Chain A
Amino acid sequence: MTKDSDYISKRKFMEELGRYRKGSITRRHFLNVTGLGAATAVMGAAMPGLRPSPAFAGGNIGDRVVIATWPNYHDPSNFEAFTEATGAHVQVNVFGSNEEMLAKLQAGASGWDVYVPTNYTISTYVDEGLIEPLDTSKLSNYDASAFDARYAEAGSVDGTLYAVPKNWGSTGMAVNTAHNGGKPISSWKEFFDISRDKFSGRAMVHDYQLTTIGSALNYFGYSFNSVDEAELADAEKLLIDVKPHLFAITSDYQPSMRNGDAWLTICWSGDGKQLNTDMPEIHYVLGAEGGEIWSDYYAIPKNAPHKDAAYALINFLMDPTVNTKEVLAHGYPTADARTFALLPDDLKNDPILFPAQELLSPLEFGAAATLTDPNRAELMARFKSA
């Protein structure tokens, strides 16, 4: 190295600063070329208060972390910030159903570090030995007392913590009211009847046994979670009858709702919020007969290849400021009181995020039995291949 390159000239520094301000170089690049990064690191080491938080202090967490999650479920800028802070890139795998996640883990070597199971699946993961108990000492941002127990309790099985709450939500329907004289619809009965009539070729159901079969069960007034063979037979008859009239069977329904190909879909509340924000004619409603209330969790698979990175990512996402950005992006309510306090008032009072109690009360949490019930699994598969 020659003497000249040991320091940066005033003019060069001002040039780099200009580039950084214009956004043509990243902050990291700016800190590197100007030497400010090294200076900060030295200063930081000398002043304990400036040290990065414990999650990242473990030093090298590797260069990547893989998360298995749901569609439209994160703020991508949070992942970029995580990479900036730790050097680990976040690779996102998107899934359409809990069954699919379970199948991948059962087959072994999923390659995931973090995944997002729903409340009713966690006990099965524990029974199957597929989930890692969580070490809360590595999750400094997790504060159990901040969470509403209703949306956190499924994370613990027999007193051991396996999963920490991400957010909760409901499963209802989204309807484009422009095609229904400005009127929304209000029940699963109406949902399946209008799908075979005025909305023929315009309605969608999930590619997911719990919600699709559950809604068909609700049509008859049965429990969303029923595994009763006679009740399931009724639901199957209804689904097979509706199938020729459906636009699609998919859990990624936002694109077709947005471009106008589809007018009605089974919908998770956050998607409903996202759709309603951009297209006010799309309303999100809960079925009068009932439906699902659920809570999703962050967990680590037993064979996760980058466990340190997994803890670092979960801890990062548990940070109330980071989580606030998540909620603003995905539109699902948080069970974390610290995050809730940071939300803007209009979101705190939003009827899609936080429906009135009387609308929530007929809803049911998914039951573990539905995940492993062979009849429900085969019913869904038959419906799709019919």
Chain B
Amino acid sequence: MTQRTRNWLLLAPAGTWFLVMLIIPLSVVLIFSFGERAPAGGVVPAFTFEQYANLPARWTAFKNTMTLAPIGTLSALLIAYPLAYFLAVKVDPKWRTILLVLVIVPFWTSILIRSYAWIFLLGGRGIPALLEWFGIEGVRLINTPFAVLIGIIYGYLPLMVFPIYVSLDKLDKRLLEASSDLGAKPWRTFLQITLPLSIPGIATGCMLVFILLMGEYLIPAMLGGGKVFFVGNALVDLFLQSRNWAYGSAVAVTLVVVMLITVTIYMRLINRLGANRDDVSIM
């Protein structure tokens, strides 16, 4: 067997998977998006741009996704970074493993169950009742964008913590000593050494969280009371309630395009950041 055949054989499973599970379904969605809704629901083939012309009717869903996904990613980053820093740099190594396990523990239960717990916590008898006890009245949390944001941060935090933890853990501690020996204050050492060296972790974490958030459906559905709509919820609605596959496909294709554009811009930015410091690169 030549090297070439062997390479092809080894690539075959992934290639087949890619073709059957990604290329073909995406092509079907693309074809559907130019079709029309069948009388009882579903799709009839056609060639029309009507579905795309109708996209403004889902503007709010796109707007919600495009605001809450970046805000959620940024909030998760701001909360995850100190935690990851603490785990990688500050904590006594004998506690590290157990603390890392504690970060993963929530993943042992389905996000559905955990969101149900949040419904209770954010509902009238949960946190608002506690606040009332302290004299703060009339706080409403459940079924608001804020509730969805809390659910998002809670659900995605571990995905942000781990990449940052890994890049901080690999950081050469001698650099910190050198910086300190050369007279830099801790804050300056952090800004000039630690933070730049952890950019790959930040970039990976943000990418993971952001891409998943763009397709989020469950958390807005459960903590938003059917009122805080993401594109994911609009899609479920179009396929499972109004049975307008053609329009649903057009919305899906648009989401993919929006995602591709956003991610490309993001990669460019990260790579430029990396190019300025030739020691950092995301890929």
Contact = CB atoms under 8 A, between A and B. Distances in A.
B240 A100 contact: yes
Contact of B40 (A124, A250, A386): A124
Interface residues of B, number: 31
Chain B interface SS verdict (over half): loop
Greatest chain B CB density within 10 A among A127, A261, A377, A382 is at A261
Contact of A372 (B39, B124, B225, B238): B39
Contact of A247 (B125, B143, B238, B239): B143
B241 A377 contact: yes
Given A209-B241, A385-B58, 16 more contacts: A99-B241, A100-B240, A103-B239, A103-B241, A103-B243, A243-B227, A246-B227, A249-B225, A259-B124, A259-B125, A260-B124, A372-B39, A377-B241, A378-B57, A385-B60, A386-B60
B61 interface: yes
B127 to A, nearest CB: 12
A49 B244 CA distance: 55
Contacts of B125: 259-261
A374 B243 CA distance: 9
A142 B48 CA distance: 50
Contacts of B237: 381, 384-385
Interface residues of A, number: 35
Interface in B225-283: 225-227, 229, 233-234, 237-244, 247
11 contacts: A97-B241, A99-B240, A99-B241, A100-B240, A103-B243, A106-B41, A248-B143, A260-B125, A374-B242, A384-B233, A385-B58
Contacts of A248: 143, 225-227
B111 to A, nearest CB: 18
A102 to B, nearest CB: 7
Contacts of B140: 201
Contact of A250 (B225, B229, B233): B225
Contacts of A124: 40
A246 B229 CA distance: 14
B142 interface: yes
Most buried by B among A207, A381, A385: A385
Contact of B240 (A103, A127, A209): A103
Contacts of A207: 226, 241
